[in-house]
Amino acid sequence: MNPRALPWPEPSFRTVEISDPRFEAGGIRHATVQSAALGQRADALFHVPQRAKESPDVPLVVLLHGVYGSHWSWAFSGGAALTAARMQAAGSLHACVLAMPSDGLWGDGSGYIPHRGRDFERWIASEVPALARIAAPCVTERSPVFLAGFSMGGFGALRIGAKYPQCFAAVSAHSAITRIDQLAPYVDRQPAAFSVSDADHCVLETMLRNHGNLPPLRFDCGLDDPLLEANRSLHRGLEQAGIPHFYQEFPGGHEWPYWEEHLDETLRFFSGRMADAPVRARPGNTDSK
């Protein structure tokens, strides 16, 4: 995948607050930053295991939450750090750092897309990896970055990963919203302020626009999930377009026990690609042949 310039400057933060290592537990680090993309402070958790601290250019896995949640959701509702630690101890996951950012905390959910005056996808694609390099110095500009999420976060992962394929070594989603209008029943504010671009409203449309440049892709959905047909439709659309991907269905619904259980699938998918992952493109890079 050829690196391409990003549409934003290299992130720089006016203020960053990182938790004191003396009071951290389970490898969980807290960070609050003044985000230029959001025009406000934003929060993220990082799981930084000891094994990762001892390695160079450690891969970064960014996990996006769903509606109503925040930066703590994956760690304290889904046990993501415990899952990663278990898999690393068993040798089924390479040493890596987990980044668990908030979505920007707009209403019940930002959708991880640009709004008027707030760029929620810039926060995820550009600022969160930059913040990771501060909170966990074992993550560097050479570290491959992986992106995953569930529900609204699945929409964010699939769409942002497809829109900025040069940024991510692989993408995964669970129980994903596939079109922004599917978010409407779950939020208190209708997305009138969202970007009007079709590529920001529809996962398939974004992927079709970047066909041939997409990172490795997987997604899954529960058999009792109300978004099952939407995920099957995305799978069929990708098949018809000849876009390589892995799609799976498992028993379960749109709920934390499902996402906790199947995070393993995402981390195994990523782990198999960590050793040979391309270096992440940095803002300011130019097209190369």
Q: What is the pLDDT of residues 227-274, one digit of tens each?
A: 999 999 999 999 999 999 999 999 999 999 999 999 999 999 999 999
Number of structural domains in the chain: 1
**Token pair 């009071």 is at which residue?**
23
Intervals of the chain under pLDDT 70: 1-5, 189-196, 277-289
Residue whose pair of structure tokens reads 């951290």 in the numeric block:
24
Integer Cα distance of 138 and 268 in angstroms: 21
Nearby residues of 11 by Cβ (< 8 Å), 6 or more positions away: 36, 126, 127, 130, 131, 283
Instruction: Please check whether residue 97 is in contact with residue 136, taking contact to mean a CB–CB distance below 8 angstroms.
Output: yes
Q: Compute the distance between CA of residue 32 and CA of residue 138 in angstroms, rounded to an integer.
A: 19
Pairing of strands 217-222, 246-250: parallel
Q: Does some domain include residue 168?
A: yes
Phi and psi torsions of 7, nearest 5°: -85, 10
Q: Decide if 5 is inside a domain.
A: no
Write out the two tokens for 43. 């929060």
Q: What is the Cα–Cα distance from 62 to 148, expressed in whole angstroms?
A: 6
| Sheet strands (E) in the chain | 16-18, 28-35, 40-47, 60-64, 97-101, 114-115, 118-119, 145-150, 170-174, 217-222, 246-250
**Tokens representing 169?**
């070594």
252 touches 225 (CB < 8 A): yes
Select from 114, 126, 165 the least CA-distant residue to 8.
126
Q: What pLDDT, on a 0 to 100 scale, did the predictor assign at position 55? A: 82
10 lies in some domain: no
Rounded Cα–Cα distance for residues 99 and 109 (Å): 18
Asked if residue 103 belongs to a domain, the reply is: yes
Name the token pair of 235.
């799978």
Q: Is residue 221 part of a domain?
A: yes
> What is the domain extent for residue 263?
16-274
Q: What is the percentage of the chain residues whose pLDDT exceeds 70? A: 91
- The whole-number pLDDT of residue 278 equals 57
Is 75 within a domain? yes
Are the C-beta atoms of residues 287 and 1 closer than 8 Å to each other? no
pLDDT tens for each residue of 191-224: 555 666 777 889 999 999 999 999 999 999 999 9
User: What CA–CA distance (Å, rounded) separates 222 from 249?
Assistant: 6
Decide if 157 contacts 176 (C-beta within 8 A). Answer: yes
Report yes or no on 109 lying in a domain.
Answer: yes
Q: In which residue are the tokens 């008027």 written? A: 116
CATH number at residue 261: 3.40.50.1820
Q: Is residue 279 part of a domain?
A: no
**For the whole model, what pTM was predicted?**
0.93
Residue 195: its pLDDT value, please? 66
